[in-house]
Structure 1
Amino acid sequence: MQKTMIAIAGMLLAVVTVYGVLKWQDGDLPWSQASASPAQEQNAPRRAAPVEVALSKAGVARTELNSIGTLVSDESVAIASEVAGRISEILFKEGQPVKAGQVLVKLDDAFARADLATADAAFDLAQSNLQRATSLSRSGAGTGRALDEAQAARASAQAQRELARVRLDKMEIRAPFAGVVGLRTVSEGAYAQIGQTLVNLEKIDTLKLDFRLPEVNLQDVAVGMTVTVTADAFPGEKFTGSIFAIDPLVDVNGRAVRIRARLDNVGARLRPGLFARVTVQGKDRGQVVMVPEGAVVPRGQETFVYRVADGQAQETRVKLGRRMAGSVEVVEGLAADTQIVTAGQGRLRNGASVEVVSSAGPV
Structure 2
Amino acid sequence: MKSKKKSIVRVFVTLAVMVGVLLGIMSILNKNKAANQAATAEVAKTNPAVAVRVDTAAVRKLDISHTANGIFIPKQEVSVGAETGGRIVSVSVKEGDFVKAGQTLAIIEGNKQNVNVANAQANLENAKMNLERYEAAFATGGVTQQQLDAMRLQYESALNNLKSAKLIAGDVAIRTSVSGIVNARKIEPGSYVNPGTIAFDIVNISSVKLRVHVDEKNVINLKVGQPVQVTVSVIPDKTFTGRITFIAPKAEGGLNFPVEVEIPNPGNELRAGMYGTAHFGKGQMEDVLVVPRAAFVGSVSDNKVFVVENGKAVERKVQSGRSFGDYIEIIDGIKADEQVIVSGQVNLFNNTPIQIIK
TM-score normalised over the length of structure 2: 0.60
d(CA) in 2 for partners of 1:278 and 1:91?
39
What RMSD over aligned residues (CA atoms) do the two structures have, in Å?
A: 2.9
- Given the alignment of the two structures, is residue 267 of structure 1 paired with residue 267 of structure 2, yes or no? yes
Equivalent AA in structure 1 for residue 135 of structure 2: T
Instruction: Give the gaps of 5 or more residues in structure 1.
Output: 1-59, 289-297, 302-320, 325-331, 333-363
Equivalent AA in structure 1 for residue 271 of structure 2: R
Alpha-carbon offset, residue 213 of structure 1 = 1.0
d(CA) in 2 for partners of 1:280 and 1:133?
77
Name the SS of the counterpart of 2:196 in structure 1: coil
Paired residues, number: 238
Matches within 5 A, 1:133-148: 133-148=134-149
d(CA) in 1 for partners of 2:103 and 2:166?
19
Name the SS of the counterpart of 2:159 in structure 1: helix
Which position in structure 1 is the counterpart of 2:8?
A: none
Query: Per-residue CA shift, 1:188-214, capped at 9, x if unaligned?
Result: 111223433222111111222211112
Judge conservation of contact 2:65–2:284 (CA < 8 Å) in 1. no
Equivalent AA in structure 1 for residue 280 of structure 2: V
Judge conservation of contact 2:134–2:151 (CA < 8 Å) in 1. yes
Query: Per-residue CA shift, 1:67-120, capped at 9, x if unaligned?
Result: 111111111111222333211110123212112111111111111111111111
Alpha-carbon offset, residue 264 of structure 1 = 0.7
d(CA) in 1 for partners of 2:282 and 2:236?
24
Distance 1:62 1:85, change over 3 A: farther
Alpha-carbon offset, residue 235 of structure 1 = 1.9
Matches within 5 A, 1:276-355: 276-281=276-281, 286=286, 322=324
Judge conservation of contact 2:223–2:244 (CA < 8 Å) in 1. yes
Alpha-carbon offset, residue 240 of structure 1 = 0.8
Which position in structure 2 is the counterpart of 1:17?
A: none
Matches within 5 A, 1:194-209: 194-209=195-210
Name the SS of the counterpart of 1:250 in structure 2: coil
Judge conservation of contact 1:63–1:220 (CA < 8 Å) in 2. no
Equivalent AA in structure 2 for residue 69 of structure 1: G
Moved over 6 A (4+): none
d(CA) in 2 for partners of 1:81 and 1:269?
31
Which position in structure 1 is the counterpart of 2:186?
A: 185
- Given the alignment of the two structures, is residue 258 of structure 1 paired with residue 265 of structure 2, yes or no? no
Equivalent AA in structure 2 for residue 269 of structure 1: E
Distance 1:254 1:105, change over 3 A: farther
Instruction: Give the gaps of 5 or more residues in structure 2.
Output: 1-60, 296-322, 327-335, 337-358
Which position in structure 2 is the counterpart of 1:56?
A: none
Distance 1:233 1:127, change over 3 A: farther
Alpha-carbon offset, residue 270 of structure 1 = 1.1
- Given the alignment of the two structures, is residue 167 of structure 1 paired with residue 168 of structure 2, yes or no? yes
Name the SS of the counterpart of 1:221 in structure 2: coil
Distance 1:141 1:244, change over 3 A: same
Judge conservation of contact 1:220–1:282 (CA < 8 Å) in 2. no
Name the SS of the counterpart of 1:150 in structure 2: helix
Alpha-carbon offset, residue 282 of structure 1 = 7.0
Distance 1:283 1:223, change over 3 A: farther
d(CA) in 1 for partners of 2:83 and 2:255?
40
Equivalent AA in structure 1 for residue 246 of structure 2: A
Judge conservation of contact 2:78–2:178 (CA < 8 Å) in 1. no
**Is the radius of gyration larger for structure 1 or structure 2?**
1
Alpha-carbon offset, residue 62 of structure 1 = 5.0
Alpha-carbon offset, residue 323 of structure 1 = 6.0
Identical aligned residues as a percent: 26
Deviates more, 1:168-177 or 1:213-222: 213-222
d(CA) in 2 for partners of 1:148 and 1:262?
60
Name the SS of the counterpart of 1:254 in structure 2: helix
Distance 1:231 1:284, change over 3 A: closer
- Given the alignment of the two structures, is residue 227 of structure 1 paired with residue 264 of structure 2, yes or no? no
Which position in structure 2 is the counterpart of 1:27?
A: none
d(CA) in 1 for partners of 2:234 and 2:134?
75
Name the SS of the counterpart of 1:160 in structure 2: helix
d(CA) in 2 for partners of 1:282 and 1:134?
81
d(CA) in 2 for partners of 1:156 and 1:102?
33
Which position in structure 2 is the counterpart of 1:77?
A: 78
Alpha-carbon offset, residue 255 of structure 1 = 2.2
TM-score normalised over the length of structure 1: 0.60
Query: Per-residue CA shift, 1:163-221, capped at 9, x if unaligned?
Result: 21222122211010222212312211112234332221111112222111122323122
